[in-house]
Amino acid sequence: MTTFSSLGLPRDIVQVLARQGITTPFPIQQAAIPDALAGKDILGRGPTGSGKTFTFGLPTLARLAGTGASRPGHPRALILAPTRELAAQIQQRLDEPAAALGLRVLAVVGGVNIKQHIRQLARPVDLLVATPGRAQDLIDQGYLKLSDVRITTLDEADQMADMGFLPQVRKLLRLTPADGQRMLFSATLDGDVNKLVKEFLHQPATHSTAPVEAAVDTMEHFVAYVGNRDDRNEVVLRLGARPGKTIMFMRTKHGVDRQAKKLRRAGINAYPLHGDKGQGARTRAIEGFASGEVPVLVATDIAARGIDIQDVSLVVHVDPPAEHKAYLHRAGRTARGGASGRVLTLVMDEQQTEVATLIRKAGVTAATVDLTDVDSPASAPALTSLFGAAQPSGVPLPPPGQPDDPASASSARSTRAARSTHSTRRRPTSKAGRSAQGRGTGKGASKGGGSSRGGNASKGGQANPPRGQRANQPRKRSR
């Protein structure tokens, strides 16, 4: 049986993983870690949740260990991620392995006062995790230099292309030494991503574990015909009242805000999430959803690739996405790490041709559910039997973050408890199992990026591994 030790990782890293109950590498880890440790350029394709963070992160830490000291503002390794949530999760996952090797990890992302990052860069940084925009800001102000970077990784490269980040990414890569190691990971490897590969990777070792993100045995796809817009809106309310975690996707930020308000007026604790939300609002949404305090997250596609949260049992395309890649990325929020999940696309009469084309291009097989064969689609028995739809309470909830908001009150209690705990300790301790392979809670985004030696940057950020790699020790859970 292949183990992390047999792949060539240092004993200190293997011991950290063992304490977290992680002993068996995922397929992409088995394939790519030896090449990454050998210093080869890596081109990796696989679905999110397949273990990519450890695939590039652990070899990076291993290669940095014992090879010299870093200077303030001069990291020796760089990981670029498209969203602040993903950057924070990467940093959170690598905190403990880095600390075991005496290395420091720092995450710098937009939406946080840049002075905080300037102060953090005044100390030596071994591995920098960054969003492209914030990295460029720090370079422009003279606080960050990439001349010492020997290992560069691009995670979710196709999303960076979709978000228009590739010009910034190219500019940043050109500031790193041309003879350094480069790794690129993406769910798809076409178009602009291929151009990036040809320009910056040298004879890369290619590793692929899955053709598309939605092609997993534990994910079921459904298309539901809902009639007109009013009928669809009633169906959405019933789906919002179902038990379990649900992500609803809209095409626009305005649509997200409007849908979240409708759900809350019906008594459903839903939070909106999109790029115009401030860091505090994004943190409340992600932490509340991860803990289960907030059962429904209403989001634009920004959340489709940057958030890794366990136990999402249903993804609903309230607005069908514009193209098939977005469908796959959205769908990938459920059925992660071996868990089961369902993906439901709501189709109004005028959308049937568009959605049929979308599903075909996505390469998935979707069962058809016709909710229009009853007087009210929202009361169709299939909606309850297949997706657990229920009648909402009808008791309106206040806007998110207000004192009477249940998730906000719970968050405040947790914050007070954490402050009390820290005031009685001289040094915070690292909890075993706080990072685990494959799935995370996303709590590392709470500070918008931070540094750690011993995992102290991601306060309260507990990640949960997929089936077969779960930590054995007790974990604090909030339901």
Q: Which of 3.40.190.10, 3.40.50.300, 1.10.3720.10, 2.60.40.3500 is the CATH number of 11-211+434-452?
A: 3.40.50.300
Reference 114, options 153, 71, 76, 144; nearest CA is 144
Reference 25, options 5, 47, 48; nearest CA is 5
DSSP 8-class letter at 306: H
Q: Which residues of 103-132 are buried (b: 16+ CB within 10 A; e: fewer)?
A: bbbbbbbbbbeeeebbebbeebbbbbbbbb
What's the confidence (pLDDT) of residue 413?
52
pLDDT at residue 306 is higher than 80: no
Q: What is the mean pLDDT of residues 397-406?
A: 80
Q: What is the mean pLDDT of residues 456-468?
A: 40
What's the confidence (pLDDT) of residue 336?
76
pLDDT at residue 438 is higher than 90: no
Can you tell me whether residue 183 is helix, strand or coil?
strand
Tell me if 246 sits within 8 A of 364, measured CB to CB. Answer: no
Type of residue found at 16: V
pLDDT at residue 111 is higher than 50: yes
Q: How far apart are the first and last CA of the chain?
A: 36
What's the confidence (pLDDT) of residue 215?
52
Per CATH, 11-211+434-452 and 219-409 having the same topology is answered yes
* 168 CB burial (10 A radius; 0-12, 13-18, 19+): middle
**313 pLDDT band (50/70/90 cuts)?**
very high
Residue in this structure with the two tokens 């880890």, named with its chain if needed: 29
197 versus 423: which is more confidently predicted? Answer: 197
What's the confidence (pLDDT) of residue 406?
67
Q: Give the pLDDT confidence of 183-231 residue by residue, as tens digits.
A: 999 877 778 899 999 999 999 999 986 554 445 678 999 999 999 999 9
112 versus 33: which is more confidently predicted? Answer: 33
Q: Give the pLDDT confidence of 331-389 residue by residue, as tens digits.
A: 988 987 678 999 999 999 999 999 999 999 999 999 999 999 899 999 999 999 999 99
Tell me the Cα Rg of the chain. Answer: 22
pLDDT at residue 311 is higher than 50: yes
Domain map of the chain by residue range?
Answer: 11-211+434-452, 219-409
* 456 CB burial (10 A radius; 0-12, 13-18, 19+): middle
Of 252-266, 409-423, 458-472, least confident by mean pLDDT is: 458-472
Q: Give the pLDDT confidence of 65-98 residue by residue, as tens digits.
A: 988 899 999 999 999 999 888 898 899 999 999 9
110 versus 469: which is more confidently predicted? Answer: 110
Can you tell me whether residue 193 is helix, strand or coil?
helix
pTM: 0.70
Which residues, at least 6 apart from 80, have a Cβ–Cβ distance to it below 8 Å? 130, 131, 132, 135, 152, 153, 154, 155, 160, 169, 172
Type of residue found at 116: Q
Integer angstrom CA distances of residue 83 from 54, 165, 213: 18, 11, 18
What is 219-409's CATH topology? Rossmann fold (3.40.50)
Tell me if 330 sits within 8 A of 321, measured CB to CB. Answer: yes
